[in-house]
Structure 1
Amino acid sequence: MPHDHNGDVQVFENLSKAQGETQVLKGPQATLAEEGEPPSSSSLSFGGAPLRTQSLSAAGSISTPQEPQRALSTTTATSGTRSDEGANSQNAEGPSTSQAPASTKRSCRDPLTKRAGLLEQFLLYKYKMKQPITKADMLKIVKQKYKDQFPEILKRAAERIEIVFAADVKEVDPITQSYALVSKMDLPNDGRVCGRKGLPKTGLLMTLLGVIFLKGNRATEEEIWEFLKTMRVFAGKKHFIYGEPRKLITKDLVKLKYLEYRQVPNSDPPSYEFLWGPRAHAETTKMKVLEFLAKINDTDPSAFASRYEEALRDEEERAQAIDAARAGSSAMASAYSRASAATANTPSEI
């Protein structure tokens, strides 16, 4: 039976009216998210307060020898755990409503920002349910009144999805005007990792790679989990986006070779650390990870000082390796061509 796309649109129209387009995904509503309602970077809570455009982040401190107090913000997609976290989150550390900057409060009243938040939820819903995304359906969400502002609304929604989930909203068929969310890394099922319906895990992976890089290209297990606490991600506690995070991080991503999880040499009692896996080195770069972290923090990659210099060196080394490989291929092709020509010009013996 064909899917009723108009029915999906109606679901979100009703959601808009019922929640005033300011849905906070926590408590009982977190359960709805698991059953099909989409989480949104514009509608998640941290410490009991909704986070919207305030850099879409919750502050988490990362210290490195060169930058002892460098603050790294974490994506808000991780700030809402299952409904059993709702009560505890009210007392957790985090920004309160009164602490929200004036610019954030103003942006919440911006009708384009509200429409972008609703469109973002719709895009994530369609992605999670593995349903096609068309411009026609998006326009129904945006409403005729904002049709002329649709490009700007889509841009804002896409930026927030990129920051939280490390996925780009791309037009995949200009004829049917169909769109898709494309993961920044080549994880299975376009970022879902497992074959089940769900949301992309690429944002968490990119953040973990960033933590490891900023920690000096290796981070202890304790450092990783301390940082993840700032994102309201806890070992052994199911998360509405990431499932059981310990399994995802120490098993799934390790098995896929995006992370390396190993015992610290000569540690007694045994302790463990994380490094980049070979697929992470193959599919992304230190600079791309810094750019992702910089976007989360609304800053420039160069703000990460010493790590930026290391990322630049890494880019240069990669470029030199590519040039050397191309030169080698060109030389081999030239030698083969000369050998072939010599063979062709050699008289045949009778």
Structure 2
Amino acid sequence: MPKATQKRPSLEVDDGDDDDMEMVLASQSQTMTQAEKAAAQLSPDTLEAKVNEIVQYMLIMEQKKIPVKKLDITKHILKDHRGIFLKAMEYAKTKLLRVYGFELTELGQGPGNKKQCYILLNTMDVNDSDHIDYSSEEPKVGLLMIVLSIVFMSGGVVAESIVWHALKKLGIYPDKSHEVFGDVKKLLTQEFVRQMYLEYNRVVNSDPPAYQFQWGQRALKETTKRKVLEFVTKMYGKDLQIDSWKSQYKEVLRSEGRPVDTMEDD
């Protein structure tokens, strides 16, 4: 993955809700034409500086896997020039792709029903590889893939209790600090959720409260159901093919827009 070489700016993510700013932004919905007119009023150097700030900010947040809200960009970077937002993002998208190999992707609402946000997807690898590197030595990536696999093999939504039951077989417990992962419960329910790899929601009308996991929007963008099923098949280490998992393989075919009628039922 390419690294940012610029000096890190003193920008912070605004995790709180700024109602006043949201109202201002809502009242200033714009078209690209309006953004182009606003951009034309700036000097080329000023416009370029703002675009470069956006690019650098996105690269820094990508290293942390933190989605960037539109509010973050307008409040911390564009400030009094928020009218150029669409045009500045268009320039930033082009630069991120051509120079750094990242695709700027809008995800819509983020965790906690926050407003539209953006992430970067790696396009540098062209050999049909995914952004999530299953063979990575990074331990958290392996744990994430295991949890995504549990969710997928359970039909797309899985009770938190089932996830912990599976992880306990690997010596990973929600109430014990792990020598590699540290606080695993916090990792799964906060960090991976903030990064939008997982969704963690309370089961409706559950008493006592019970929670469940689903794939987050970043996971849906960065990997495929086929790749996850291939990962599961390799984990078993037997002479299995991905179509050995009948219902899951049907879901893979559906996700790819391919017919499943010819497959035999379980």
**Alignment TM class, shorter chain as reference:** 0.3 to 0.5
Q: TM-score, normalised by structure 1?
A: 0.34
Q: TM-score, normalised by structure 2?
A: 0.45
Q: Which has the larger radius of gyration?
A: 1
Higher relative contact order (CA closer than 8 Å, sequence separation 6+): 1
